[in-house]
Structure 1
């Protein structure tokens, strides 16, 4: 399947018109039509925008895989954190959670980790 066909297929799956998609992507309707008909190939930046907008990967759009899903892999530090029995109560449902919930929990954990970066052991939690 060509890049253009995959772009058109994803747009159809999301129920978007060419005009709506073009506006959201910051390109003209004519440009989008040319990409979808394989008359033009998008620059890497535009290809990345397509992947983000259509919630897929550039590998899928380019035909390197037939799987359009985005695989979100938690960091090994996160896996170690939730495996710790002391932390497990808070994240006990992570491994069985739906993917959307896992992504939300991972973002929350990364937010907390970033906020606590540089904190001294003698500091009270939440204070810098």
Structure 2
């Protein structure tokens, strides 16, 4: 499971920002940021929110409570609502949810094959 520190570090690296530069942007020392990233220290609420705002992710994502980076993204909400209102999605979700782990893995592999062949 990803930790708060690893999520901060991964986001910083994904955005190609040096640790010292990001520390300056959020108003902490490089040492403090290093401790956040190594899980030796936890940011307070205001700092957690500042980090989330900087990377445009939710605090829930940073805290590992969800894998969805931004719950308030309008395009994500529209896509999700469209998907949820499609009766086929409900069938797919129900069938997938009731499948064994082995069946789920097989379905995911088939999905990847179809995507790689341009059929999705």
Q: TM-score, normalised by structure 1?
A: 0.55
Q: 1:66 to 1:25 in 2, by over 3 A?
A: same
Give structure 1 regions of 4+ aligned residues with deviation exceeding 3 angstroms: none
> For the aligned residues, what is the CA RMSD?
1.7
Q: Matched residues in 2 for 1:54 and 1:72: separation?
A: 13
Q: Matched residues in 2 for 1:44 and 1:52: separation?
A: 12
Considering fraction of residues, name the structure with more helix: 2
Unaligned runs of 5+ in 2: 79-120
Equivalent residue number for residue 31 of structure 1: 32
Q: Matched residues in 2 for 1:10 and 1:48: separation?
A: 14
1:34-113 to 2 correspondence within 5 Å?
34-73=35-74
Counterpart of 1:67 in 2: which secondary structure? coil
The alignment of Structure 1 onto Structure 2 pairs a total of residues equal to 75
Displacement of 1:54: 1.3
Highest RCO, 1 vs 2 (Cα 8 Å, sep ≥ 6): 2
Q: Deviations over 1:26-81 (max 9, x none)?
A: 110000000000000110000001101111110000011011134235xxxxxxxx
- Structure showing greater Rg: 1
Q: Matched residues in 2 for 1:16 and 1:70: separation?
A: 24
Q: Deviations over 1:78-128 (max 9, x none)?
A: xxxxxxxxxxxxxxxxx8xxxxxxxxxxxxxxxxxxxxxxxxxxxxxxxxx
Q: Matched residues in 2 for 1:17 and 1:70: separation?
A: 27
Q: TM-score, normalised by structure 2?
A: 0.58
Counterpart of 1:11 in 2: which secondary structure? helix
